Amino acid sequence: MVESSDERPTQHAIVNELELVEQARNGSETAFRTLYDDNVDRVYRLSYRMAGNADLARDFTQDTFLRAWERLDQFRGDSAFSTWLHTIAVKTALNGLRKHGRHGKREAELKDGTHMAPDRRRLDPLARDRLRGAVDGLKEIYRTVFLMHDLEGYTHPEIAAALGMAEGTSKARLFRAREQLRNALGEEMREYVR
């Protein structure tokens, strides 16, 4: 599920969201559950893209929501709740990956292959490794923007807010990420992308 880049919360949705946050702040589990339901797919998907590992993705997602719950008082409503939440989500995932090392953990999971859905796979294992290596080889600042924008459909304003950078920087990093991928993959992927 990649959400449309053009999707923006309506005014009504924002007001409703603020009410939910207020209720959650006052201890309403139901309100927080609604906020969770509205956002968990996107947070989990992004966490999984970044970690490549179901356990870590689950940990990062859980941590994100628990931190949000703890810090609801700090949410001032200047931005959408989802924007604020994604700032926490990205920081949680990046910090977690720095601690655990993203490559080692994912390799462990690749060995058991439990997360694979073979019928959906178009690449042979060698080509998949090449592709994976190319994306993994990107610097963190490029990889994160690439995963958010191109794979998960985040807009540049969303990425800029989540990563604390200007929109122009987000665009420049995406450009660099794509360029590096093109250079890294060279001719090898040509047969798969036609």
Residues that bind another protein (CB under 8 A): 2, 27, 29, 32-33, 36-37, 40-41, 44-45, 48-52, 54-63, 65-66, 69-70, 96, 99-100, 106, 115, 117, 120-123, 128, 131-132, 135, 150-151, 178, 181-182, 185-187, 189-190, 192-194
Tokens 């859905």 belong to residue:
117
Q: Shortest Cβ distance from residue 11 to another protein (Å)?
A: 28
Give all strands (DSSP E) within the chain, no chain letters: none
Q: Measured between alpha carbons, how far is 173 from 9 in angstroms, rounded to an integer?
A: 26
Q: Shortest Cβ distance from residue 8 to another protein (Å)?
A: 22
- One-letter amino acid of 26: N
Containing H/E element for 182? helix 167-185
CB-nearer residue toward another protein: 133 or 166: 133
Residue 185: what are its φ and ψ, rounded to 5°? -90, -20
CA angle, 68 as apex, 99 and 76 as ends, to 5°? 125
CB-nearer residue toward another protein: 128 or 171: 128
CB-nearer residue toward another protein: 6 or 78: 6
Q: Shortest Cβ distance from residue 22 to another protein (Å)?
A: 17
- One-letter amino acid of 93: A
Q: Shortest Cβ distance from residue 17 to another protein (Å)?
A: 18
